[in-house]
Each structure stands twice: as C-alpha cells, then as structure tokens.
Amino acid sequence: MLPKRALGATDLRVSVLGFGASPLGGVFGERVPVERATDAVHEAFAHGVNLFDTSPFYGVTESERVLGGALRGLERDDYVLASKVGRYDADEFDFSAARVERSVRESMQRLGTRRLDIVQCHDVEFAPDPTQIADETLPALARLRDEGLVGAIGLTGLPLDVYRRALERTAVHVDVALSYCHYCLNDTSLVDSGTLEELRAGGLGVINAAPVAMGLLTERGPPAWHPAPPELRRRCAEAARVCRERFDCDIAQLALQFALREERVASTLVGVDSRDTLERNLAACNAPVNEAALDAVRATLQPVHNVTWPSGTAKA
C-alpha cells in the first residue's frame, strides 16, 4: 500500500501518489469511457491511492462526470476528492463569488457527492484583477468551508509568485497550494525558488502536479496544445530517447520516481487515463531508481533546466 502524508495543517491524509483526472476529460487524446475510468480508479484505490483531483475545466465538465461515475461504489469517507473553481474552458474564467458558489454545487452534483474535501482556485494568474482572488474568490470559498460543503481551500497556478501575492493580501486562511510542471526532471524551480519551503512555513500543504510535465517526459511526447517552447520539447524528446536506447528505461517512470523523492510534497499528482498507465506508475513507485539513467537524462536536460512558458494575463 502507498504511504500517506498529512496535507499541511488540515486533518486530511493523502497518498504520496495522487490520481490526476484531467485525462478522464479527454485532455490528452481520446475520451475515456466510464468503464475504463472505473477500472483505473478502483485499481488505484485498491493500491492505496486516496487523492483524486479534477476540475470543471478538464474536458469542459467531462472529467468530473466520468470521475463521479468511476468513484461510485467506493466508501465516500475513504477517499479525498479535490476539484476547482474559476476556470471553465481554455479562455473562460470567472473568479467571482457568485460563480464560485454555483460552481461548487455543480461540481458536487457531477461528482455525486455532498461535500468536496478540497476546492482550489484554478490557475489564478488568469484572474482579470489580481486582487480578486484574495478579496473575493478565497472569501467565497472560506464561507463554503464554514458551511461544511468544502473541507480545505487552495490556490493553483503556473507562475510561482501567484501564491505569495494572494496569501500576502487575503484575510482568509488558505490550506493548500497546487503547483504543476515545477518539480520534475527538467524543472525544479518549486524548490530552487524557495517557494516550497515558504508555503510549508505558512502551514500550507503542497501538492506537486504533472511529474511527467504534461507529456513532455513520455515516449509518446506532449499533446499539440502543450505550451513548452521548441527547444524544451526537443531536449525532452532527446532525453526520452537516451533513457530508452542507453538504459532500456521508460522516462515517464523515471520522472515519477524523481518527483516522489521530494518528501516535503504531500502528494504527487500524475495524470491517469487507464489501468495500464496506473500500473506503470505504481510499478515505478516500488522499483529502485536507475541512477545512471537519471544522471544521463538530467545531463541531457541541463541546457533547458527551469525553462518554462508564460501563463496568465499580463496584469496578474
């Protein structure tokens, strides 16, 4: 069984490997039928995965619907269900209090639950006014937390300064921060920038998402929409080739193993689209790390280390 860790100062304990459900919305390719999702979700749960993360944005509500169907039959108190508010499509954002309250209720309906354990503001760098998250969105979530509809509340985004900006301004206690693509083989800026320690010092639980960098660190490569610049894509493809040809090793599994070494992160969320992906990731959790492959891959990626891409509105 996978070990669990405390999520910051909340009373939630989450598995070190979490189930990222964005692929269930068809984000990385074809749509995932409920039967295939159910198979993956139940298998994950049987191995001790208890954190399931989704959003109304993923597949424009499809991920929540499919995950809700797949979770049926599991004891509700035995898993931690996380969703988000504020982002509804690639270019559709609404962080207003009214939308937050409606959104949480709609998510609960799609997920077939009467409470959400975690709700986070989704990609806050896209808020039209940077003060809105601190002054309106988080207070709206805090009211839902007071009512007991929501357990913990949090922030997600790509630029690492979004947390500090919101936390310095808001009067609300924030429980969780989710960072993505900033603690993986090619990018360790979550740690290098001091953000991980800063968040933990503030009592927040930290979730690290996308250990295979949204497909960059896979043999299949990233989807067409991936925002990485060409040189980063090229280096990652080269690293995948080096890993396979010189070490007969799968870069995705190595990437997950690397991310899991950071024990100050409460949970690492990897996208799962099938039992096959899940099993490969569970196998990686239990296998020894190929240190020679790790060194070679990191050397290949060194010229693009911590290279990222812009995200959000100019004002945020």
Over the window 101 to 120, marking each residue x when it contacts ligand NAD by CB under 6 A and - when it does not, the resulting string is --------------------
CA 261/CA 288 separation, integer angstroms: 12
- The first and second tokens of residue 181, run together, are 């693509």
Whole-number minimum distance, CB 160 to ligand NAD, in Å?
13
Shortest Cβ contact with ligand NAD: which residue?
Answer: 271
Q: How far is the CB of 110 from ligand NAD (least distance, A)?
A: 15
Q: Which of 214, 237, 265, 293 binds ligand NAD (CB under 6 A)?
A: 214
Using the rule CB under 6 A, is 123 a contact of ligand NAD?
yes
Tell me, residue by residue from 270 to 299, as one string, x for binding to ligand NAD by CB under 6 A and - for no binding: xxxx---x--xx------------------
Q: How many residues bind ligand NAD (CB under 6 A)?
A: 29
Residues 25, 60: Cα–Cα separation, whole Å: 7
When binding is defined by CB under 6 A, the residue of 71, 119, 162, 212 that contacts ligand NAD is 212
Contact flag: residue 79 with ligand NAD (CB under 6 A) = no
Least gap, CB of 278 to ligand NAD (angstroms):
8
| Nearest distance, CB of residue 190 and ligand NAD, angstroms | 13
Query: Has 180 been annotated as catalytic?
Result: no
Q: Which helix (H) or strand (E) holds 31?
A: none
Give the length of the chain: 316
Q: What is the DSSP string of 86-115?
A: SEEETTEE---HHHHHHHHHHHHHHHT-S-
From residue 202, how far is each of 84, 136, 163, 220, 316 by CA, in Å? 21, 21, 11, 38, 22
Residues 170, 156: Cα–Cα separation, whole Å: 15
Mark 279-306 as b/e (b = at least 16 C-beta within 10 Å).
ebbbebbeeeebeebbebbbebbeebee
Q: Does 226 bind ligand NAD (CB under 6 A)?
A: no
Position among 15, 61, 253, 267 found at the interface with ligand NAD (CB under 6 A):
253
Catalytic site residues? 58
